[in-house]
């Protein structure tokens, strides 16, 4: 399965590999299709849409990755100091401080 995450989370015990990717690699990954968004904030989904050209739904679900699963990680690289700002940063702010990577579960524990 393929997922889109807004943080590099370890969803189940096991061995994972994480690598940063370019915007072009992200677009190629999205073009392959068959992915499920778990992006929880509209600003994050909108920023990802603006950068990729793909419609990214907001979908606040919890996942459990299995061996062979991949996740496109689209996450902020800065800590939000004011907890009241969480989910209210704005697309421009999200785009200024983001990291794009691929998280892959390579083995179960």
Give the pLDDT confidence of 68-93 residue by residue, as tens digits.
Answer: 999 999 887 755 555 454 455 556 66
What residue ranges do the domains of the chain occupy? 2-108
pLDDT in tens, 6-17: 888 898 999 999
Q: Is the pLDDT of residue 39 over 80?
A: yes
**Domain formed by 2-108, architecture:** 3-Layer(aba) Sandwich (3.40)
Residues paired with 36 in a beta bridge: 3
Degrees to nearest 5, angle at CA 69 with 40 and 9: 45
Q: In angstroms, rounded to a whole number, what is the distance separating the alpha carbons of residues 46 and 58?
A: 9
pLDDT, tens digit, 9 for 90 and up, residues 24-33: 999 999 999 9
pLDDT at 7: 85
């Amino acid at each position: 399965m393929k997922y889109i995450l807004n943080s590099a989370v370890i969803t189940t015990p096991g061995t994972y590999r994480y690598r940063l990717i370019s915007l072009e690699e992200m677009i190629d990954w999205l073009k392959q299709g068959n992915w499920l968004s778990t992006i929880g904030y509209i600003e994050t989904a909108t920023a990802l849409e603006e950068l990729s050209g793909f419609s990214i739904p907001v979908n606040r679900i919890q996942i459990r990755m299995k061996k062979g699963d991949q996740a496109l990680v689209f996450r902020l690289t800065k800590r939000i100091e004011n907890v009241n700002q969480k989910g209210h940063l704005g697309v421009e702010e999200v785009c200024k401080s983001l990291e794009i990577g691929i998280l892959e579960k390579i083995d179960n524990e």
